[in-house]
């Protein structure tokens, strides 16, 4: 399957509309400033900025901080996001940013966490649901994401991301503090059109991950060169739920037996009929190549995305030349290859001790993640139109129920949970469905 690479601009650049734009009014929003810019054809651009400069400080022993801020786009009617532009306040420090949806039912809890506009630390997900586990990821749907090398990010033509009336937005920024710590005042712009008259298909985001097991190079030794020691360090930096997530990926993708090497692969069963419009690869600084394959090893095999020369500093989205249908019985495989030698070359990584590299939130850790934009249909039916405003709850596929019965380590604990020994298995299982790790 051929793909069309979405045009990317350098961090901080803008995609200028062909029509003139006019600044309308400015208002104060909870957790940030907001301005509106009127466009033609019924579209409105809402720009939200951090209320004041934020200086990130990493937790003890770490080099990264995930910080969440609450933004209010002041949408009084259901909208569709057709384009997003994140403008980093400090390009060197901003590793990535994610916008999460906060439905009206969770607005009060989110405002409490925002602590009068100062924001909160939020490794993993934003944590608004209060479960204190990986369930946080599933409790807040993604609206948009940014990584180095991206400017304006239009959704595939004919689609949009739902933003229901009265919703708030959490802007999560991952700060890479290996490069220092300077004040940041990032902002984000969303181009919106009214959902009722848009005739756009609601685009959802699904995440497909693979575990990382990248050993120290041959002849290298160090305290973190064993998987056990590195996993313990991951837990110390990000909480024991991070350990649980690593172990869960290993259990699902490799039967619980880690496979050390410079390639990561996981094959996921498809749980529902979807149409893939766009795929965004995400790895960290050691990433070398990336591939997503539909039904690998069969006569129906299709390579949906192949990035033979991945560059962390120039991350792009890839739009299908036509939407690709996936359905129950199909399988999606995500594969990532890494170059361990880069750890001794990168100006920031080479200052760190050698380690067995695992999946982790830090810039010195790694990820293998396919961010998939998909719709449930290719036509706007009443049921599809309802998806623009309705947040559905997950169903429990048989495979997930078997996993719950056979996997005793489904007890993910956050840093808070570990103090009370309060387990959250059911929230975690539900989150895995929403996170599309068990379909």
Q: Taking the domains of the chain in order of start, what are their residue ranges?
A: 3-203, 205-434
Q: Per-residue pLDDT averaged across 358-381, rounded?
A: 89
Kindly report, residue by residue over 114-171, the tens digit of the pLDDT: 988 889 988 777 888 654 444 444 446 788 888 776 778 889 999 999 999 999 999 9
**Structure confidence at residue 397 (pLDDT):** 41
d(CA 282, CA 297): 24
Half-sphere exposure of 89 (CA within 13 A, CB side): 20
**Structure confidence at residue 26 (pLDDT):** 27
Cα distances from 340 to residues 179, 220, 230, 283, 355, in angstroms, run 20, 12, 16, 13, 10
Q: What residues are paired with 100 via a beta bridge?
A: 142, 170
Task: Pick the more confident residue, 164 or 404.
Answer: 164
pLDDT at 405 exceeding the cut of 60: no
Q: How far is Cα of residue 228 from the mean position of the Cα atoms in its chain?
A: 26
> Which of 54-58, 321-325, 371-375, 394-398 is least confident?
394-398
Q: Per-residue pLDDT averaged across 58-87, rounded?
A: 87
Identify the H or E element spanning 232.
Answer: helix 227-238
Identify the H or E element spanning 405.
Answer: helix 398-406
Of 38, 100, 93, 88, the C-alpha closest to 63 is 93
> Which of 40-54, 99-113, 222-236, 378-392 is least confident?
378-392
pLDDT at 394 exceeding the cut of 80: no
Q: Are β-strands 331-338 and 287-294 bridged in parallel, bridged antiparallel, or unpaired?
A: antiparallel
**Structure confidence at residue 390 (pLDDT):** 58
Q: What residues are paired with 69 via a beta bridge?
A: 171
pLDDT at 212 exceeding the cut of 80: yes
pLDDT at 275 exceeding the cut of 90: yes
Kindly report, residue by residue over 26-42, the tens digit of the pLDDT: 223 344 454 444 444 67
Cα end-to-end span (Å), the chain: 23
Pick the CATH number of 3-203 from 3.30.450.80, 3.30.530.50, 2.60.120.310, 2.60.40.420: 2.60.120.310
Identify the H or E element spanning 148.
Answer: none
pLDDT at 273 exceeding the cut of 70: yes
- The pTM assigned to this predicted structure is 0.76
Quick one: CA torsion of 422, 175, 9, 263, rounded to 10 degrees? -60
Confidence of residue 174 (pLDDT cuts 50, 70, 90): confident
Give percent of the chain above pLDDT 70: 76
Supply the mean pLDDT for the chain: 76
Q: Token digits for 66?
A: 């995930």
**Structure confidence at residue 385 (pLDDT):** 74
């Amino acid at each position: 399957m051929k793909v069309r690479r979405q045009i990317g601009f350098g961090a901080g650049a803008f995609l200028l509309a062909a029509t003139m734009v006019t600044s309308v009014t400015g208002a104060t929003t909870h957790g940030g400033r907001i301005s509106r810019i009127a466009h033609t054809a019924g579209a409105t651009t809402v720009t939200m900025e951090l209320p004041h400069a934020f200086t990130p400080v990493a937790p003890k022993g770490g080099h990264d901080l995930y910080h969440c801020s609450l933004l209010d786009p002041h949408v009084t009617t259901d909208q569709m996001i057709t384009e997003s532009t994140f403008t980093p306040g400090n390009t060197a420090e901003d590793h990535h940013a994610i916008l999460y949806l906060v439905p009206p039912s969770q607005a009060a809890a989110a405002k409490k966490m925002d602590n009068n506009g100062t924001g909160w630390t939020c490794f993993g997900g934003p944590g608004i649901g209060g479960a204190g586990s990986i369930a946080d990821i599933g409790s807040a749907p993604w609206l948009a994401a940014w990584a180095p090398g991206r400017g304006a990010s239009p959704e595939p033509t004919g689609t949009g991301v739902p933003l229901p009336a009265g919703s708030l937005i959490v802007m999560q920024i991952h700060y890479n503090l290996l490069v220092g710590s300077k004040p940041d005042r990032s902002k984000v712009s969303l181009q919106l059109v009214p959902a009722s008259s848009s005739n756009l298909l609601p685009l959802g985001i699904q995440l497909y991950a693979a575990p990382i097991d990248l050993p120290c190079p041959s002849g290298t030794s160090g305290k973190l060169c064993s998987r056990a020691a590195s996993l313990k360090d991951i837990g110390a930096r990000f909480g024991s739920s991070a350990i649980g997530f690593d172990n869960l990926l290993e259990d699902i993708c490799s039967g619980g037996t880690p496979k050390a090497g410079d390639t990561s692969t996981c094959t996921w069963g498809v749980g529902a009929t979807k149409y893939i419009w766009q795929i965004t690869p995400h790895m960290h600084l050691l990433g070398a190549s990336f591939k997503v394959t539909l039904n690998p090893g069969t006569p129906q095999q299709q390579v949906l995305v192949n990035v033979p020369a991945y560059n962390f500093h120039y991350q792009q989205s890839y739009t299908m030349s036509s939407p690709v249908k996936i359905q129950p019985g199909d399988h999606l495989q995500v594969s990532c290859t890494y170059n361990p030698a880069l750890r001794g070359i990168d100006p920031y990584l080479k200052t760190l001790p050698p380690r067995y590299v695992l999946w982790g939130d830090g810039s010195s850790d790694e990820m293998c993640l396919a961010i998939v934009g998909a719709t449930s249909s290719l036509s706007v039916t009443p049921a599809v139109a309802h998806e623009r405003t309705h947040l559905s709850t997950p169903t429990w596929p048989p495979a997930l129920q078997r996993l719950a019965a056979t996997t005793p380590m489904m007890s993910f604990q956050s840093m808070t949970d570990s103090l009370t020994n309060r387990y959250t298995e059911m929230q975690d299982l539900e989150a895995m469905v929403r996170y599309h790790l068990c379909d």
